[in-house]
Amino acid sequence: MSKTVILVTGSNGQIGTELVSALQKKHGQDSVIATDLKDNENSEGIFEFLDVMNFERVERVIKKYNVTQIYHLAALLSSSGEKNPALTWRINLDAYLNILQLAHKHKIEKIFFPSTIGVFGPTTPRINTPQNTSFVPGTVYGISKITGELWSQYYRNTYGLDIRGIRFPGVISYATIPKGGTTDFAVEIFFEAVKNKKYDCFLKADTRLPMVYMPDVLKATLDLMEAPKEDISISYAYNISGFSLTPAELNVAIKKYIPELQITYTPDKRQKIADSWSETIDDSLARKDWNWSPAYDMESMVKDMLDNIK
């Protein structure tokens, strides 16, 4: 059996930063190749500058390190993606097609493809959104990701590639502040609460969205990738969720620790995106296939976030 060597694209992003560390702990620093458009000075281990849209460059990295698995995290997110739809399509989809073609050519053993609740849209049931439903996303981010899911299914069915994916809800974390997402308020509020004791939220107070805390993101990703192939019943992306919350509920939970926190609400263009997304998610298939079970609810997440930020 060949040595596991993992290529991570988009390693400087919110998930990538912490996933690289988790993979290094599991497989060793010399088995994880972190890549992005600029180096992360705080990271340890192997790093390669990589533009994922450059087919030849990606192939050189795969061949140089004899890569066996690829975690393809490079993407533009929902809000930032609306500023340049054509670029978002190239980064989010054309680059993924590069990965799929090279994975087939070089017999990559496993691929991880992160998707999003952004694949859902106004025709999707917002409560307990099922695994298989109507997909009419309202952003180029969502359009690119649902198309990526279909390409994943095609490459698995046609070429036998072992591709696994997760539709992530809003991701909350303290190590890296996200940029360009519709659920970023759920991270920004913590840093503003600690620093300034006030926060102006860009969504309405009662906007309910599904979330997941970073430790559960890492656990879900690693558990899915380690699950026996015969247990994986779909080839696109699994629904998962940790909990759902509104900005007002999050404010109340944080005020238990920072009672002087003042929050105002100034909805911007992201409100329209949020209004088209799910409020709660049915993740029963992930629970059945690979025993997904989040460790954190909103209350335990809030305590852990503040313990690490203060």
Residues 6+ apart with CB under 8 A from 86: none
232-259 pLDDT tens trace: 999 899 999 999 999 999 999 999 999 9
CATH class of 6-170+212-239: alpha beta
Whole-angstrom distance, CA of residue 138 vs CA of residue 301 = 29
Averages of pLDDT over runs of 10 residues in the chain (310 residues) are: 92 95 97 92 88 98 99 90 92 97 98 97 96 94 97 97 98 88 95 97 98 99 98 95 98 98 97 95 98 98 96
Number of residues that this document lists for the chain: 310
Instruction: Report residue 227 CA to chain centroid gap.
Output: 19
43-96 pLDDT tens trace: 789 999 999 999 999 999 999 999 999 999 999 888 888 999 999 999 999 999
One-letter amino acid of 119: V
The DSSP symbol for 176 reads S
CA distance 138 to 148: 16
CA atoms within 13 A on the CB side of 11: 30
Which of 3.10.450, 3.40.30, 1.10.10, 3.90.25 would CATH assign to domain 172-210+243-279+295-309? 3.90.25
CATH 3.90.25 residue ranges for the chain: 172-210+243-279+295-309
In which residue ranges of the chain is CATH 3.40.50.720 found?
6-170+212-239
pLDDT at 201: 98
Predicted pLDDT of residue 252: 98
Tell me which residues are annotated as active site: 141
**pLDDT (0 to 100) of residue 105:** 98
For every residue of 73-141, DSSP letters joined together read: -----HHHHTT-HHHHHIIIIIHHHHHHHHHHHTT-SEEEEEEEGGG--TTS-SSSB-SS-----SSHH
Give the burial class of 307: count Cβ atoms within 10 A of its Cβ; 0-12 exposed, 13-18 middle, 19 or more buried.
exposed
What is the pTM assigned to this prediction? 0.95
pLDDT score for 19: 98
- How many Cβ atoms from other residues are within 10 Å of residue 31's Cβ? 18
Q: Which pLDDT value is given to residue 17?
A: 94
The two tokens of residue 134 are 């109507």
